[in-house]
A and B are shown apart, each in its own frame.
Chain A
Amino acid sequence: MEDKSRDSNHRRYPGKNRTILIVALLAVVLASGTALGLVKASENPSFCTACHIMEPYYQSWDNSCLLAHVHAEEGLTCHECHDESLGAKAQEGFKYVTGDYEEPLPQLDFSREDCLECHTDFEEVMVSTDHGGGENPHDSPHWEDMECTMCHSMHGQSQVYCTQCHDFEWAEYLGENWNY
C-alpha cells in the first residue's frame, strides 16, 4: 500500500522532483565552490581572525616577538601546525557561531614528535645550544626526551624550565619572548 502511494507520488509530481534535484545540485556546486573558496581563503592566516577570539593568535604570528612570528618569518602559516582539514574547520566555525567555546581557548597539546617533524635533526638542536660548561638545555642530565612545550611556547611567553633550580648565564641573553 505504502509502496504504491510512493509510486503514485512519483507519477504525480515528476516535474517538481526534477526541479528539486537541479536546485540541490546547484546548491552543492555553489556550496562546494564556496567551500573551495573558503578553503583557499583559510590558507591565509588573516582568515582565522574572522572569529574575533583568534585575533591575539593571529597577531602573535603576524607581528610579535613570539615564536609564532619566528615561524611566520620562515614562511610558515597556521596550518603548518594546526589541523587544516575541512571537517576541523567546519567544527571550529560551528562552535564559534553557536558560542560553544571557552575563552581564552584551551591550550592545545603539541608533542615533541610534532615539533621534530620539521626540526628533524635534534642533534643539531643540541649542538646549537651547547655553550660549554655542561649547561645545555637540550642535553640535560634530568631528561631524555623532554617535551619541547615544557619551555617553548608559540603564542605566549616561553619559559626556561631549568631556571627554576639553576641560574644559567645564557638565559639572560634570550630574546624578549622568554621568561627565565
Chain B
Amino acid sequence: MAKEIGRRDFVKNMALTGAALAGAAALGGCSQSSASDSSSIKWDEETDVLVIGSGFAGCAAAIEAALAGAQVKVLEKMDITGGNSRICGGAMAVAESPLQEKEGIQDSPELLVEDMLKAGLGLNHVEKVRMIAEKSLETLQWTMDVLKVEWSDQMMWPGGHSVMRTYRAANNSGSGILEPALAKLKELGVPVETNMKMARIICDENRRVQGVEAIDRYKFSSDSGSGSRYIKARKAVVLAGGGFGANVALRTTQDPRLTEAIDCTNHPGCTGDALLEALKIDALPVHLSWIQLGPWASPDEKGFGLTPFFSTLEGAQWGIMVDPSTGKRIINEMGDRKQKSDAILATGHAAVMFVDSVGIQTVQEGVVDKILNKTMWEFDSLDELASHFEIPADALKQEVARYNSFVANGEDLDFHKQTIKMATLIEKPPFYAVRLWPKVHHCMGGVMTDLECKVMDFNLEIIKGLYAAGEIAGGTHGACRVGSCAILDSLVCGRVAGQNAAQEDAWA
C-alpha cells in the first residue's frame, strides 16, 4: 500500500516543492489558487471552528472549543477516527505527578524540558517545550476529570527520560484516551465526520482563513470521493492532521534514506496531506527532515507490532543490546531514539537485545506469550543464543560479564545507562532475545506555530484564522522526540489551539 501512496503523491510533492519555493520567493501572500476565488465560493455548510483530524490534537481542540461555546465540527479523511493516536501505546510523560509523589520520585517541568532538549539536540523551540512541560500535570488532570481516562497505576520509563515519569493508559493503547475523548465530543454534540478529507484551505485576499474545500465520501484506498464540499469556518480552522511518516515519496524528499525498504509504525493515512495544504498557503515549514526512527522495532513483524512492549521498556532496562557481528554493546539501551537508531543503522544489520529469566519477569503480563517464537526466542544458555544469531560466543560472554560488573558496581562505564543501579545481573537462563531494526515512527517537523498554536507564514506573521497542533506542528521535539512526549504535546497544544480558536472574531 505504501508503494501505491508513494507514487500517487509523488506528483503532488513535486508541486509542493514548487509551491514552497514560490512562496519563499514571494515571501508570503496567501497562495493565488486559494485566495483569489474565495468570494465566489458557495459554502455548503458552516461552523465556528473546523478541526481537521480526529487524533488527540483534533479531539482536544474540538473539546476545548466546544466547551468555550463555539460550534465545532471535526473532519476525518479515513474510514475510522483516531489516526496514530488510536493505535499508539497510550504512554504520556507527566512531571510532578501523583504517581511520582507516591513513588518518591523527584521531578520538575524543568527536568522534563532538559530531557527533551538533550534528545532534541537543542533544536527544540524551547518556549513550546516549556509550555508543554508546565502544562503536563494539568493535562493529566484534565484527561481524568473531563475525559474520564483510566490510567494504569504503574508508571513506565522509556529511554531518554532521566527519571521515571510516564503514565500509561490502563488498556495499553492510545484508544484508552481517544475513545473517552470521542465520547466527550459526542456528549458535547460535536459531529466527527469520517471519510471527509480536507483538500484545500481557503482564505481571502487578506490571507484570513475562511474555511476549507473537503472531499465528501472520501475513500483513502482509491484516493477519491464523491465531490467537493465547501465548509465555512467562521472563526478558525485547526489543523490536526498528524505527520507524514507513511508517505514514502514525501519522506524521502526530506530524508532520502527513508525508502520503502524501511518499514513504518504509523497508520496508513499518515501521509501529511493536511501539512502540504498548509504549506501551499505559505505556512512556514520547520524541521521537516527530522524524521524519527523507532529503534525498538522488530524486523520480524510488521509495523509497530508488539515487540516494542518489551524492547522500549523492560528489555532496554533489564537487558543489553549487542551488535551480532561483534557481540559488543553499541549504545546506552536507555538512550534516546536517535542515539539508538543511529547506532543500530551504523552496524548495517539488526541488533540483538536480550534479558535473562529475572529480567523477563518484569515484562508486562501477556506480552511475552504473544511474541515468543514469533519475534522473541528463548535459549538455555548464552552459547545457544550466540549460535542462533551467529554472534561470536566468547566475545558475547565477555561483554555480558563486563556489563554485569557495571551492574554490581552501580555504574555503566561504557554507556552510562541511567537505570544501571536498578538493573540485575544477566546470568540466569533461560535468556530471551529479540532482533531490532529501526522503523519510521514520528515526524518532528511540521508547520511553524506560536505559543497560541497559531500558524505562522514566511513573513513570520500569523496566518489569521489558522491553528495547528499535534504531529503536524513542527519544532517542539527538535532532532528527536523523547518517548511518551507526543501524546503530551498533542493534548496540550490541541487544547490551547481549541481554546484560542473559539475566541477568534468571526469573519462572517
Contact = CB atoms under 8 A, between A and B. Distances in A.
Given A107-B219, A149-B79, A165-B265, A142 B175 contact: yes
A147 B171 CA distance: 20
B182 to A, nearest CB: 9
A167 B370 CA distance: 10
B366 A134 contact: yes
Interface string B372-405: 0010000000000000000000000000000000
Contacts of B303: 164-166
Interface string A79-119: 00000000000000000000000000011010000000000
Best-buried of A107, A142, A164 by chain B (most CB within 10 Å): A142
B425 interface: no
Contacts of A165: 87, 265, 302-305
Contact of B80 (A133, A150, A166): A150
A134 B370 contact: yes
B440 to A, nearest CB: 13
A141 interface: yes
Contact of B305 (A106, A133, A166): A166
Main secondary structure of the interface of B (DSSP, over half): loop
A65 B179 CA distance: 35
Interface string B251-269: 0000000000000010110
Contacts of B289: none
Nearest to B90: A141
Nearest to B194: A147
B487 to A, nearest CB: 15
A146 B80 contact: yes
A135 interface: yes
B461 interface: no
A161 to B, nearest CB: 9
A147 B80 contact: yes
A143 interface: yes
A133 B217 CA distance: 37
B154 interface: no
Contacts of B171: 141
A147 B366 contact: no
B86 A142 contact: yes
Given A163-B302, A166-B306, A142 B87 contact: yes
A123 interface: no
A134 B462 CA distance: 48
Contacts of A167: 301-302, 305, 374
Interface in B133-182: 171-176, 179
Interface in B173-205: 173-176, 179, 195
Nearest to A163: B302
Main secondary structure of the interface of A (DSSP, over half): loop
A74 interface: no
A144 interface: yes
Contacts of B79: 147, 149-150
B263 to A, nearest CB: 10
A167 to B, nearest CB: 5
B206 interface: no
Contacts of B268: 164
A165 B306 CA distance: 9
A107 B225 CA distance: 10
B175 A106 contact: no
B226 interface: yes
Interface string A119-150: 00000000000000111000001111011011
B101 interface: no
A150 B87 CA distance: 15
A39 to B, nearest CB: 29
B369 interface: yes
Given A133-B369, A133-B370, A164-B268, A143 B80 contact: yes
A144 B179 contact: yes
Contacts of A109: 195, 217
Contacts of B86: 142-143
Interface string B453-481: 00000000000000000000000000000
Contacts of B219: 107
A141 to B, nearest CB: 4
A40 to B, nearest CB: 33
B301 A142 contact: no
A100 B135 CA distance: 56
Best-buried of A143, A149, A150 by chain B (most CB within 10 Å): A143
Contacts of A143: 80, 86, 175
Given A141-B173, A142-B174, A143-B175, 19 more contacts: A109-B217, A134-B366, A134-B370, A135-B370, A141-B172, A142-B87, A142-B173, A142-B175, A143-B86, A144-B175, A163-B302, A164-B302, A165-B303, A165-B304, A166-B301, A166-B302, A166-B303, A167-B305, A167-B374
30 contacts: A106-B217, A107-B219, A109-B195, A133-B370, A134-B366, A134-B369, A141-B172, A141-B173, A141-B175, A142-B87, A142-B173, A142-B175, A143-B80, A143-B175, A144-B175, A144-B179, A146-B80, A149-B79, A163-B302, A164-B1, A164-B268, A164-B302, A164-B303, A165-B87, A165-B265, A166-B302, A166-B305, A166-B306, A167-B305, A167-B374
Closest 6 CB pairs of A and B: A165-B303, A141-B173, A142-B175, A167-B301, A141-B171, A165-B304
